[in-house]
Amino acid sequence: MLMLIFLLVVVIVLVVRKFYLKKLKSGRNVCVLVLGDIGRSPRMQYHAISLAREGFIVDLIGYPGSPPMKEILENMHVQIHYLRPPPELQNKLPRLLCYIVKVIWQTADLLWSLFNKHISDSLIMQNPPAIPTIPVCWFYCILIEARFIIDWHNYAHSLMALSLGKNHFLVRLAKSIETTFGYRANNNLCVTQAMKEDLEKKWFIQAKVLYDRPIDNFHPLTLVEKNEFLCKLAEKYDIKISCSPRTSGFIVSSTSWTEDEDFSILLNALQEYEDTCESNESNLPDLICVITGKGPLKDFYMAIINLKKWKHVEIKMPWLENEDYQKILATADLGICLHTSSSGLDLPMKIVDMFGCCLPVCAFNFNCLSELVRHNENSLVFADEKELAEQLKMWFQDFPDNKTQQQLREKFQGNMFTSQQNHNDWHSNWTFNVLPCL
């Protein structure tokens, strides 16, 4: 009798659940989730913008911090749900126990946010991080019969291995979660062809390649707009760059200040540039280097930079507003990228943004970089600080009147996305690869 009552209750619950989902699901609600700062997650914001453009109602979930894009804030079809940051316990509990408390907090908070919004028809989540994001999102999608989509930006286990080592328990756990639940996702997206092949070869996960693209805000500026912005840089950020005539070179790099970017390479290259200027061996201008971004290693590198007593090289490290970041890329003479990729399978979004502004780049070489950057075809690639120093000196030799450099710049600008035979703008690329999944 008890067994019959139990089975009857289960049947009633399933029927009520089915009726509830059928009544509340519209077929047009999509959740976009990143377990990180929404404002510093451009690709997930781009997902939200494209979804809204196609008529979907979007719930965007993530942490507060940097302000999201203006298109997100002003879009009536996008609603932001902020997660509550876990308590700071680093100095109060052992490291492992602190991590366990953090995961429990994130699991509870994430479930609360997922069930206190529109009932989703589909959920697109960013990986990494995998813990607890992937299992929690999978559980939610199973419960409400939503389509579960993972967007692979990198591997969580390879990122964790940078600080914990490959054999650490948490690294093995993250890899197991990625393997188990990635295979169970309804759809998988990834950022490179190399990652697509790796997912299929290692874990039998079928993924579509969705290359990053800059949105419309990343575009070249006119000479008048550049001069206006240089004035703003001087007034707002105390970065003084001559407008007319240009007497100093201007390079820019953006970073999250994590272990997968070794900024000692850039600092050593700038030291060689400084030494060359001091010796008067070449006709080189003074150089202003702007490094933007926030992250755990910023204070470490700031301490090193503060010890430098350079006369010809100046480093500035401002935190820029979104619209100012786009303009500084369009105003600079050269971009620098030190991204190395923990997995060797992802591509740096910062180069995509630079290419959108027609800014040539010096990029650190790694496994699949050629899917975006090809040496001497659309930018420059270096393997160490010596090569980067030589490229900086070549680029700024006889600045700003080096005709060879100007021809090289025009060549690079004409070839910037030719290494990726796909739609050149984000929304067309997204419509072709993601919209059919929904």
For residue range 358-411, list pLDDT tens digits in order. Answer: 999 999 998 889 999 999 999 999 999 999 999 999 999 988 888 888 899 999
Tokens found for residue 209: 């390649």
Q: What percent of the chain has pLDDT over 90?
A: 53
Cα separation, 151 vs 32, whole angstroms: 10
Cα separation, 178 vs 130, whole angstroms: 7
C-alpha pair distances (Å), 238 with each of 234, 252, 254, 299, 393: 5, 15, 18, 20, 25
| Sign (positive or negative) of CA dihedral 181, 183, 187, 189 | positive
Residue 354 pLDDT grade (very low, low, confident, very high; cuts 50, 70, 90): very high
C-alpha pair distances (Å), 19 with each of 13, 144, 376, 380: 10, 11, 61, 59
Cα separation, 143 vs 29, whole angstroms: 16
Kindly report, residue by residue over 4-22, the tens digit of the pLDDT: 655 555 455 455 555 555 6
SS3 content of the chain, % helix, strand, coil (to 5): 45, 15, 35
Strand partners, 122: 30, 147
- At residue 149, the pLDDT reads 97
Q: Give the CATH number of domain 223-420; options: 3.30.360.10, 3.40.50.2000, 3.10.129.10, 3.20.20.210.
A: 3.40.50.2000
Cα separation, 177 vs 134, whole angstroms: 7
- At residue 223, the pLDDT reads 86
- In this structure, are residues 199 and 188 in contact, taking their beta carbons and an 8 Å threshold? yes
Mean pLDDT over residues 172-196, rounded? 92
The one-character DSSP state at 339 is: B
Q: 122-127 and 78-82 as β-strands: parallel, antiparallel, unpaired?
A: unpaired
Cα separation, 204 vs 335, whole angstroms: 37
Count Cβ neighbours within 10 Å for each residue of 368-383 and write b for 16 or more, e otherwise.
bbebbbbeebbbbbbe
Identity of residue 19? F
Mean pLDDT over residues 91-108, rounded? 84
On average, the pLDDT of the chain sits at: 87
Cα separation, 350 vs 356, whole angstroms: 10
Fold of 26-213+427-437: Rossmann fold (3.40.50)
Name the residue with higher pLDDT: 325 or 93. Answer: 325
Tokens found for residue 97: 């126990």
Residue 91 pLDDT grade (very low, low, confident, very high; cuts 50, 70, 90): low
Identity of residue 105? W
Cα separation, 85 vs 353, whole angstroms: 29
116-120, 300-304, 419-423: the lowest-pLDDT one? 419-423
C-alpha pair distances (Å), 374 with each of 77, 150, 243, 365: 39, 29, 31, 10
Mean pLDDT over residues 300-326, rounded? 88
Mean pLDDT over residues 285-293, rounded? 91
Cα separation, 283 vs 397, whole angstroms: 6
10-19, 25-34, 53-62, 321-330: the lowest-pLDDT one? 10-19
pLDDT at 278 over 70: yes
The one-character DSSP state at 368 is: T
Question: CATH 3.40.50.2000 spans which residues of the chain?
Answer: 26-213+427-437, 223-420
Residue 215 pLDDT grade (very low, low, confident, very high; cuts 50, 70, 90): confident
Length of the chain: 438
Planar angle of CA 51, 106, 209, nearest 5 degrees: 35
Tokens found for residue 24: 């509340």
pLDDT at 241 over 90: no
- At residue 47, the pLDDT reads 96
Q: Is 293 left (phi over 0), alpha (psi -120 to 50) or beta?
A: left
pLDDT at 246 over 80: no
Phi, psi of 419 (to 5 degrees): -75, -15
Residue listed under structure tokens 């001497």: 376
- In this structure, are residues 35 and 133 in contact, taking their beta carbons and an 8 Å threshold? yes
Beta-carbon count within 10 A of 300 CB: 12
**Rounded to a whole number, what is the distance in angstroms from the first to the last CA of the chain?**
44
